[in-house]
Amino acid sequence: MTQTPSATLIRNGRVITATDDYVADVLLKDGIVHTIGHRLEVGPDVAVVDASGLYVLPGGVDTHVHLENVIGPTITCDTFASGTRAAAFGGTTTVVDFALQTETDSPLGAIARAQASAEAQVAVDYSLHVIVTRVDDQVLKDVQLAMRHEGVTSFKMFMAYPGVMMADDAAIFRMLRQVGADGGMVALHAENGTVIDLLIKEALEAGHTSPRYHAMTRPAIMEGEATHRGIRLAELAQAPIYFVHVSSNEALKHIVAARAEGIPVFAETCPHYLLFDDSVYNSDSLEIAKYVMTPPLRSTEDQKHLWRALRYDDLQVIATDHCPFCMKEGHLGYRLQKMRGKDDFSLIPNGAPGIETRLVSLFDIGVMQGRLSLNRFVELTATTPAKLFGLFPKKGTIAVGSDADVVLFDPAATQTVHAKALHGNCDYTLLEGRTLRGRVEKVFLRGQLIVDGPAWLGREGMGRFVPRGEVRAF
Ligand code: DUC
Ligand code: ZN
Ligand code: ZN
């Protein structure tokens, strides 16, 4: 009879954290990193994995994913089960999803609903940001309770989508003031929603209905304007602020200037803004709906600025904004979601998949192409997201006492990406047919082996809700 090992020793791997790079043995025991040393001796009940030639990375932390999120009239096509399994295969062991406050319930209700649906399904650890669409005294009280008692310390607000999700400046300011005072973070979607809606209306009236007009009606300058406004609101509120999915230099230049002034401004970009540029929109084909995400892809010049900011810490996080909708049909049955907008680009659900390909695509275009050091790669994809959203040092690093969320990564392997071979429910990937260097070989979640090459050893429901603490940004 085979005995379940009591612990796992990862022998001789190259341990990479945001600051370290050394060869060692790492003992995972009782769900945490128990010991790190050289030539560790263990008994026969401990499983030993030879990691010679492999990187030993902290499990990825993806702080921007949409699983089972109702967005307008549709829902993202990954469930908590399919999305977290895909995350695991991509080397991500913690995700932060969104709980949407509706017209009728409060932030606390939104958290409870999301947890009820996630609990039995999640295969990696998770947390939630609350999307706050309406602010009044009661909502602010609930926000405080969420922070103090539920371990939910971040709140997303939209400066876009008037009449649906958009919050006005006063509502954003009130949230910044309160959340900041309690040590949390407001995350902002920065685009000038009312001007963009006008541009969309004018485009449609002119008969411009194809997906490319999604990009043309969301100009970078309106991302920049909203980013600047958000920064000024945060400055007045004396609160930190985090910008999601920064895509353009128009936005970045305000972030750079504010940081230089000492204002606590933080920001993420997403792999798609680094991998693809706006040349994909040079067509009236409906296939372009795959690239309909918000903000849209920008110019190659913008990409240069994003890389520079990633290197020099004006951008601190790379998260996926995994927001998948099927073009035709996924195996869970969601059909033709992107085609809702075949006659009107404004009806195409905004978003693209990416949860499984984040680490390997960034390793290829970032590390292998000399744009990011290995340490910086880990910092951007695990350590800083964990710090900014109150998960560090439990998550985001390999250190004695941290959760034993560990990825064994083969830098010498290559893989060619195909949607059919990925583990989510989306029927396409933007990386279809692309060969990438690097491969996730094994993934441990709190010491349990959940991915072993192509084999899935994880289980729905084994992921846990992680209560989060204060922002640790400085
Ligand atoms: N913003 C997001 O963060 N995700 C999907 C759509 C959007 O507008
Ligand atoms: Zn957004
Ligand atoms: Zn998003």
User: Would you give per-residue pLDDT tens digits along the chain (474 residues)?
Assistant: 445 678 999 999 999 999 999 999 999 999 999 999 999 999 999 999 999 999 999 999 999 999 999 988 899 999 999 999 999 999 999 999 999 998 888 899 999 999 999 999 999 999 999 999 999 999 999 999 999 999 999 999 999 999 999 999 999 999 999 999 999 999 999 999 999 999 999 999 999 999 999 999 999 999 999 999 999 999 999 999 999 999 999 999 999 999 999 999 999 999 999 999 999 999 999 999 999 999 999 999 999 999 999 999 999 999 999 999 999 876 777 778 999 999 999 999 999 999 999 999 999 999 999 999 999 999 999 999 999 999 999 999 999 999 999 999 999 999 999 999 999 999 999 999 999 999 999 999 999 999 999 999 999 999 999 999 988 876
| Nearest by Cα to 189 from 295, 273, 271 | 295
The residue length of the chain stands at 474
Beta strand 265-269 with 241-243 is parallel
- Distance (Å, whole) CA 157 – CA 139: 13
- Distance (Å, whole) CA 474 – CA 259: 12
For ligand 1, atom 8, the nearest C-alpha belongs to 294
Pocket test for ligand 1, best of 75, 156, 293, 348 (most atoms within 8 A of CB): 293
Asked whether the beta carbons of 417 and 96 are under 8 A apart, the reply is no
For ligand 1, atom 5, the nearest C-alpha belongs to 351
Q: How far, CA to CA in Å, does 307 sit from each of 12, 54, 274? A: 32, 26, 8
For ligand 1, atom 3, the nearest C-alpha belongs to 321
| Nearest by Cα to 191 from 237, 153, 136, 230 | 230
Asked whether the beta carbons of 289 and 211 are under 8 A apart, the reply is yes
Closest ligand 1 atom to residue 323 Cα is 5
What is the pLDDT at residue 3?
Answer: 56
Amino acid at 286: L
Pocket test for ligand 1, best of 71, 294, 337, 348 (most atoms within 8 A of CB): 294
Asked whether the beta carbons of 440 and 359 are under 8 A apart, the reply is yes
Closest ligand 1 atom to residue 156 Cα is 3
- Distance (Å, whole) CA 428 – CA 422: 9
Which SS3 state, helix, strand or coil, does residue 385 take? helix
Tell if the pTM clears 0.85, that is, is over it: yes
Buried b (16+ CB within 10 A) or exposed e, 385-410: bbbbbbbbbbbbbbeeebbbbbbbbb
Beta strand 265-269 with 317-318 is parallel
Task: Identify the structural domains of the chain with CATH numbers, from first to last.
Answer: 7-57+398-456 (2.30.40.10), 71-388 (3.20.20.140)
- Provide residues with CB under 6 Å of ligand 1: 66, 189, 244-245, 294, 321, 323, 350-351
